[in-house]
Homo-oligomer: A and B are copies of this chain.
Amino acid sequence: MTPVAAAPRRENRGPSAGPENRRALIAAAAEVFAEKGITAPLSAVAKRAGVGQGSLYRHFPDRTSLALAAFEDNVAAIEALADEPGTDLDALLDLITDQMIGSVAFVSIVSLGAADERLPAVGQRVVDAIAPAVEQARKAGRLRRDATADDVMLAIGMASSFVAQNPGADRRAVAESCWALLDRALRP
């Protein structure tokens, strides 16, 4: 029995759509994971990206790869900002806070199952990126004498995980509450 109507198959835009699809998938994953958590259906990511299921799997063979790619975007932005001359720790934390509100967030990476050796490396990149700003802030007296970059990273992780737990809530307000408390642990 032949189908009655021609299937409304998405137009095949050809290989040139590859990089665009990849970007769309990363952006969609960042949003979907932020909204529904890291266990959200991959089909939802593909649909939001406007991309076929197969293409998703071609670009990212598993869930971790996709989350990692989205997170990579976050990290690259952090590194880029850290490299700009006038950037201080506050600016970096603002950016990171924005990310934990609207994107995959660090915690999602952690909760992938820990069964991936790529995770610690990415975390370390963030630590490395913020380390100079941490040092500078400490010297400027805007951070406790004994605060390390690892401390800051732990604070980020805690805030991030707490924010990620509140799917429906006002994420920015939650994040600000977290930082209000954590600042007291880090600031002099």
Contacts and interface: CB of A to CB of B under 8 A. Distances in A.
Nearest to A150: B177
Interface string A145-169: 0000001001101110110111111
A41 interface: no
Contacts of A157: 162
A126 interface: no
19 contacts: A1-B23, A7-B15, A107-B161, A107-B165, A110-B165, A113-B168, A114-B166, A114-B167, A114-B168, A155-B181, A157-B162, A158-B181, A161-B161, A164-B165, A181-B182, A181-B185, A184-B184, A184-B186, A185-B185
A37 B185 CA distance: 29
Copies per complex of this chain = 4
Interface of A: 1, 4, 7, 15, 18-19, 23, 37, 39, 107, 110-111, 113-115, 144, 151, 154-155, 157-159, 161-162, 164-169, 177-178, 181-186
Contacts of A151: 181
A4 B169 CA distance: 32
Nearest to A3: B19
A111 B167 contact: yes
Contacts of A7: 15, 18
A39 B151 CA distance: 30
A151 to B, nearest CB: 6
